[in-house]
Structure 1
């Protein structure tokens, strides 16, 4: 439970005095604008971070509006179908060819993240369950969405995940420059790079997969994410569906998840996160360093270029790592295959790892 300071007098400014319709209008306008501004400046996870930061500001300023959880779950389903888009035959063939190394690398990365999570819980002052999900090396938006279903504080998890995403992307770009890899045009891949051949039928079927998947997720843990992911992946691999996720749909989904989380922040929460931000940054850098060391050993084992393996083992940011891999002419198939395998591994084992982190932390306490 967050510490809540006693206020001797009401705040001089509070959005609570505004009509809810006006609050919603301002939130939608500012959140959408922030997402587009962040995207223009190539900020990682811009369509999530922009709305989340705006919603945090609204929450701190006393906004009374809250996003319905069903909208949040539809956002989860959209993220799941987006992940399913990466389940192509090429990715699966690449995974099969080097499955033993990929499984080893995935287990090693998950183990390293669990160790860092234990350290964050033990010495960083963060709740063990939240620390476990915050250090999980999966897609950041997916980990934030799943943490909500398992009782962790998604506000702190979001902060930890996206602090690491920013660090991963910045260091990934720096490593690419230091190695001297040739760079292509990022702009060519940043505008809907994953989506081609958009048509109304594929868009309608993709939306149907999201709605049906969420509707039938029931009481399955993280079902709003997993069911659309599995359903969409199966339909795409069978050739019955070419998943289509236009930018406006991703913007709405990421904005819904970001706003749902951001509106739950208040002054006490900001105070809690701010005091632990240095520990979050140290934890993120430590995990990146450990993964880089493991990437060097794996590159030696496979006789493969270090940059491709480094991007493949970087903890989180599948889309960002794919873009860097394309720009630097690395092995994009290998990067996507290992990142996707690890994402599925983290989704499947996330709850178990969180329980183990809690158990070890309690023993060390």
Structure 2
């Protein structure tokens, strides 16, 4: 009982601190402000007390459903014709980034394994050695808010995955506006019109249905990453049934709650040992993130030539993460449909592959 009371006392500090930090970081326009705020607050509590801050699994499951709805909305809003047209380049982008993630994840695993052996440390110690699953998931492009949840389901180190994913997201979110400004497109392009529909009582009922039955649908259909793809599929189905009169765009408070829950999950599990492990891998991690961003920038040129689009539109459509930033900048350049279509094709491909990740890695370990 005393440990439960101690957890509640810690939460009484973490919750208001997360809200205060989230408001400050949002006002400063920091990318992923609410997740970052929650990571800082929860990690501070975990490190200060030397004990994990436990997040109720029901809270995490609710956050999963909300994140799945958020991820599916661009798919719902993108015209079918645009999706079909950009399936091929979207698959090329997905294949390219997945290949880089597997190669980078393998390097992270082998590098940490060699370091552990030189130091005479147990090579099976997860605080020292980055597992192949952890390395690959940390470098999967797109779905930064999804990968930590999948990492927890797949037995990977979700703390390392979260920190790496949001380090990449921060880098991409800073680079994208600079590239658009450098190309002199932001000021000259006519913003596309955005029609937002109201969030009605029927929308609220639909969200409850998705939360309750989305994961079950995914498991019933034996989908990989069922807890994410199931709610995404149900979101698309419900949106088609409701029509454009009812929006499934979550209210800001629900969206921020989902992001904060992910931050608590990642930050609450941090320890001095985990942070030390991350710092040891930081140089290689930063190098791999740079390779990923540079590789996608090169791929954008190939796709721009192939599809006859401007380089900046292809760059926004293939950049490794920061979907919300990419869509916002795409609306300024008039390419929001292109960006949404290619990013969503890649996201769905990555989610399918992530569900089979353990099997693929076991096969690679046998072959290599």
TM-score (norm: length of structure 1): 0.85
Map Cα deviations across residues 83-115 of structure 1 (whole Å, 9 max, x no partner): 121222634321212332332232222222222
Residues in 2 aligned to 1:43 and 1:184: alpha-carbon distance in whole angstroms: 25
| Contact 1:80-1:228 at 8 Å conserved across structures | yes
Q: Does 1:36 align with 2:23?
A: yes
Residues in 2 aligned to 1:280 and 1:64: alpha-carbon distance in whole angstroms: 25
TM-score (norm: length of structure 2): 0.85
Map Cα deviations across residues 302-358 of structure 1 (whole Å, 9 max, x no partner): 12100110111111221121112223x141100010001100000001133554456
Q: Secondary structure at the match of 1:88?
A: helix
How far is the alpha carbon of 1:80 from its aligned partner?
0.6
The equivalent of 2:43 in structure 1 is 56
Q: Secondary structure at the match of 1:238?
A: helix
How do 1:128-277 residues align onto structure 2 when only pairs under 5 Å count? 128-183=132-187, 196-214=197-215, 222-239=225-242, 242-277=247-282
Note closer, same or farther for the CA distance 1:98–1:270 as it changes in structure 2 (3 Å cut).
closer
| Contact 1:124-1:279 at 8 Å conserved across structures | no
How far is the alpha carbon of 1:235 from its aligned partner?
1.3
Matched residues, number: 343
The equivalent of 1:105 in structure 2 is 93
Note closer, same or farther for the CA distance 1:22–1:114 as it changes in structure 2 (3 Å cut).
same
Note closer, same or farther for the CA distance 1:37–1:83 as it changes in structure 2 (3 Å cut).
same
Note closer, same or farther for the CA distance 1:98–1:269 as it changes in structure 2 (3 Å cut).
closer
| Contact 1:91-1:334 at 8 Å conserved across structures | no
Note closer, same or farther for the CA distance 1:65–1:168 as it changes in structure 2 (3 Å cut).
closer
The equivalent of 1:24 in structure 2 is 11
Map Cα deviations across residues 224-245 of structure 1 (whole Å, 9 max, x no partner): 2222111111111333563130
Note closer, same or farther for the CA distance 1:97–1:218 as it changes in structure 2 (3 Å cut).
closer
How far is the alpha carbon of 1:213 from its aligned partner?
2.1
How do 1:8-23 residues align onto structure 2 when only pairs under 5 Å count? 19-23=6-10
Map Cα deviations across residues 130-162 of structure 1 (whole Å, 9 max, x no partner): 001001112101111111111111000001101
Note closer, same or farther for the CA distance 1:132–1:83 as it changes in structure 2 (3 Å cut).
same
The equivalent of 1:83 in structure 2 is 71
User: Higher mean Cα deviation, 301-310 or 44-53?
Assistant: 44-53
Residues in 1 aligned to 2:187 and 2:47: alpha-carbon distance in whole angstroms: 41
Note closer, same or farther for the CA distance 1:89–1:58 as it changes in structure 2 (3 Å cut).
closer
The equivalent of 1:337 in structure 2 is 341
| Contact 2:133-2:357 at 8 Å conserved across structures | no
Q: Does 1:312 align with 2:317?
A: yes
How do 1:67-78 residues align onto structure 2 when only pairs under 5 Å count? 67-78=55-66
Q: Secondary structure at the match of 1:61?
A: helix
How far is the alpha carbon of 1:61 from its aligned partner?
1.0
| Contact 2:215-2:230 at 8 Å conserved across structures | yes
Map Cα deviations across residues 252-293 of structure 1 (whole Å, 9 max, x no partner): 111112112211111111111122222221111110001111
Note closer, same or farther for the CA distance 1:289–1:355 as it changes in structure 2 (3 Å cut).
farther
Gaps of 5+ in 2: 114-129
How far is the alpha carbon of 1:215 from its aligned partner?
5.7
Coordinate RMSD, CA, aligned: 2.7
Q: Secondary structure at the match of 2:254?
A: helix
